[in-house]
Amino acid sequence: MHILELRPSGEKKIKTISKLKELRNEITNLLVTKLGVSNDLATLEADILLQKAINEISSRTDIYTKSDIVITDSESRFLTTLVEERLLGKPISYLINEKEFYGRKFFVDDRVLIPRPETEHLVDEALQLVKQASSFCFFDIGTGSGIIPITLFLETKILGNKPLFTIVSDISYSALEVAKINSKNLIDDSNSIEFIQGDLFDYYYFDDIISLVNEDTTVIVTANLPYIDILDPRTDHFVKVYEPSQALFSPDRGYFSINTLVASFYAESLKCIKKSIRFKLLLEIGANQADEITSNMKNLGINKIKIIKDYSGLDRIISVEF
């Protein structure tokens, strides 16, 4: 592999801009030929990796406009490692520890699922509910990197509104650590969100929480839980290798986590003594799961069900009220 020539020679190297362009082309070609990504995507990724590895490159335009760029030995080594790992299939977001969601940069690493753009529909839907509510609170279950509650918190602030409280949970302690990093990075007062390690609804002391809300509160529960069938042959190989399996797969053909959460949350809501509280549950689902999940909901007695499609026209979010 030609890029290995970047290995340290023991002294600082100065690359002229033309050398940098060669380097960029070389990385792009490797990504196209070894990973099979499109030329446009490979070029973008090459730029992202150069920017990550080389201090003097602070933006994509630096690659085209700066006349001389100093690349130190340690930067060379770092760039080589990044390219090698990318060629093995490691997602670029894990390599640069960053993924954009709803216009903000979130820290990610292999403790959490890489946020997907489809999940923005869930946030949009929750914000619609906020606009109709006089008082509301958020629970996010299976929070991962914390993208959903942190985005909701910041977007409601822009709307001039504030949740009574925001509680988030994940079964994975290490995922919660990532969510806390994002909360610290993005929210001025990071105590605005309470983090709980827990299994679906188990750890919520529902009665205590309900005692904190008013009769007219809308309790908004969001959940993008694992919903992939472990036997589904369509799951991308690199997703399976690199992303946490606890974030991806659920038993019972992918339905277990969602169906269990719906049943336990609904059962708790029926016991609630503050009868005018509105419970809203927003779930991200797999593209072919809407029929089975809604029929399960109807069997429980839940009837106010709405299905929202993603940009590709696939069923993606189920919104229910009870």
Ligand X SMILES: C[S@@+](CC[C@H](N)C(=O)[O-])C[C@H]1O[C@@H](n2cnc3c(N)ncnc32)[C@H](O)[C@@H]1O
Q: Where do contacts with ligand X occur on this chain (CB under 6 A)?
A: 112-113, 115, 119, 141-145, 147-148, 169-172, 175, 199-200, 224-226, 246-247, 257
- Which residues, 6+ apart, have CB-to-CB distance to 33 below 8 Å? none
With beta carbons less than 8 A apart as the criterion, state whether 319 and 305 touch.
Answer: yes
Least Å distance, CB 107 to ligand X, is: 13
Task: Please spell the DSSP secondary structure of 76-87, one letter per residue.
Answer: HHHHHHHHHHHH
Q: How far apart are CA 196 and CA 193, in angstroms?
A: 10
What is the signed CA dihedral for 122, 124, 129, 134, rounded to 10 degrees? 130
Instruction: Residue 280: name the closest of 174, 143, 144, 125 by CA.
Output: 125
**In whole angstroms, how close is the CB of 206 to ligand X at the nearest point?**
15
CB of 158 vs ligand X, minimal distance in Å: 20
C-alpha 73/C-alpha 79 separation (Å) is: 10
- Could you give phi then psi for residue 17, rounded to 5 degrees? -60, -35
Whether residue 266 contacts residue 322, with contact meaning beta carbons closer than 8 Å, is answered with yes
What is the rounded CA–CA span in Å between residue 148 and residue 137? 13
Nearer to ligand X, 42 or 92 (CB): 92
Q: How far is the CB of 171 from ligand X (least distance, A)?
A: 4
The smaller minimum CB distance to ligand X, of residues 246 and 296, is found at 246
Of the pair 101, 279, the CB lying nearest ligand X is at 101
Closest distance between ligand X and the C-beta of residue 88, in Å? 23
CB of 225 to ligand X, least distance (A): 5
Indicate the residue among 80 and 143 with the shorter CB distance to ligand X: 143
Q: Are 223 and 261 in contact (CB under 8 A)?
A: yes
| Amino acid, single-letter form, for residue 168 | V
Closest approach, Cβ 141 to ligand X, in A, equals: 6
Residue with Cβ nearer ligand X (142 or 254): 142
Specify the DSSP class assigned to residue 31: I
Report CA-CA distances (Å) from 191 to 70, 150, 167. Answer: 42, 12, 11
Q: Residue 115 or residue 163: which is nearer to ligand X going by CB?
A: 115
Nearer to ligand X, 75 or 120 (CB): 120
User: CA angle at residue 125 from 124 to 128, to 5 degrees?
Assistant: 90
Q: Which CB atom, from 15 or from 316, has the smaller least distance to ligand X?
A: 316
Under DSSP, the state recorded for 114 is P
Minimum CB separation from ligand X for residue 164, in Å? Answer: 21
